[in-house]
Amino acid sequence: MLYIEKGEKAKLPSQYRQTNNLCAIIYDQLTEILVQEYYEELEKTTVLLDDKSINLIKELESGNVHALDWLAKNKLDKELTVVLTKHIMLSVLSDFVDFIYESLNCAKKGKFSVAYALLRKPLTDELLIFEQILYDKEDFIRRFYHEGSSINYDPSNPKIDKKTIIKNAFTVLSPKWFFTEELIYQLRYDKSCDSGINGISNLALHIVTQDRNYKTNDQDLNFVFSRSEENYKNFFSHYYYFVPYLLIYAVTIIDQIIFDLLPGSELEGVKPVKAFKRFIALLLWTEQTKTHTKKNNNKLIEKIKEILQFECHNCNHVNLLKRPDYELFFETDLILCEKCGENILISFESIKPIIDFLKHIK
Ligand SMILES: [Zn+2]
């Protein structure tokens, strides 16, 4: 378990427990995609066949041809893109969550060399694949399947223009909230960015480094002598600054792709409720990292009160959301009526204020 319960003993200093729990809750938004029945349409695709392709179905059933090749052969490119995007998303996502889980778990225990080393693959390489799929899945599938040469989709290829990939993803990312493409790039790829992943994960992965941005000091070795209390303090504050931000961003990208592949899902309310939770996560993160003050965020909460008005189905009382409501919702998915104590979020109708709010802050 990543989440630290009240009163539970943990090595993590108390000031980072909230941030750890924030990450645990956002991490769960990914694992639910892999385990909950709601997402099972990701594992299958219905293909409508015309007369011509129906004749060819015998060939598919014979098992002599791979389903993807069969789709390509029959010029069912749109269907092929959907089938393969679903398959890639679920497969890469499974790997992504495994790495993120172990990294968060190691950080929680203060094993920073491993925690940092494990971040590289999900947050630099795999996230870059998600960003490309979000922007243009046809183009990604063309390079991945139709052309097929791995150099054309290798996220670690030094020739690949990562800045443009992130920039492109931002043109379709919605909502963008506090994310900026410059910061997302710097935190992942900028060797000179002290707050980011690049330098520190290189130090974690290599015992000695010569790159001028993170060169090992003479008569030193990377990480292994960094056992002082001061060093740990720095690691905790560094890790819990940029990891939640990139994690919330990654889940926003992944959810957008996933829900595009699940037509009609918005009507079920899962997508907006998850997005609203991430908005609260960002608010809390800005406070925990002192990027915003509580006072400023309270002003923002006050401002959006007018949009977020929830009428209770039980007593008809109109509830305006206050800070404790945000915090309770983030932890429990509940918004309780201040008059009768009933949970307000019981139907698609009841989450409409959240949908309106999300439209406002695109
Ligand atoms: Zn009520």
pLDDT in tens, 343-355: 999 999 999 999 9
Question: In this model, does residue 303 exceed pLDDT 70?
Answer: yes
pLDDT value for 310: 95
Q: Which of 205, 287, 197, 293 lies closest to 246, judged by CA?
A: 197
Is the pLDDT score of 54 beyond 80? Answer: no
- Give me the residues paired with residue 343 across strands: 336
- Please tell me the predicted confidence (pLDDT) of residue 55: 66
Q: Using 50, 70 and 90 to split pLDDT, how confident is the model at 262?
A: very high
- CA 331 / ligand 1 centre spacing (Å): 20
Please give the distance, rounded to the nearest whole angstrom, from the Cα atom of residue 275 to the centre of ligand 1: 25
107-138 pLDDT per residue, tens: 999 999 999 999 999 999 999 999 999 999 99
Cβ atoms within 10 A of the Cβ of 249, count? 26
Closest CA to 250 of 23, 42, 14: 23
Q: What is the pLDDT of residue 266?
A: 62
The vertex-289 CA angle with 278 and 309, nearest 5°, equals 40
Rounded distance from Cα 340 to ligand 1 centre (Å): 4
pLDDT bracket for residue 231 (50, 70, 90): confident
- Interval between CA 347 and ligand 1 midpoint (Å): 15
The string of pLDDT tens digits covering residues 235-252 is 999 999 999 999 999 999
- What is residue 265's predicted lDDT score, i.e. its pLDDT? 67
Q: For residue 344, how far is its CA from the centre of ligand 1 (angstroms)?
A: 7
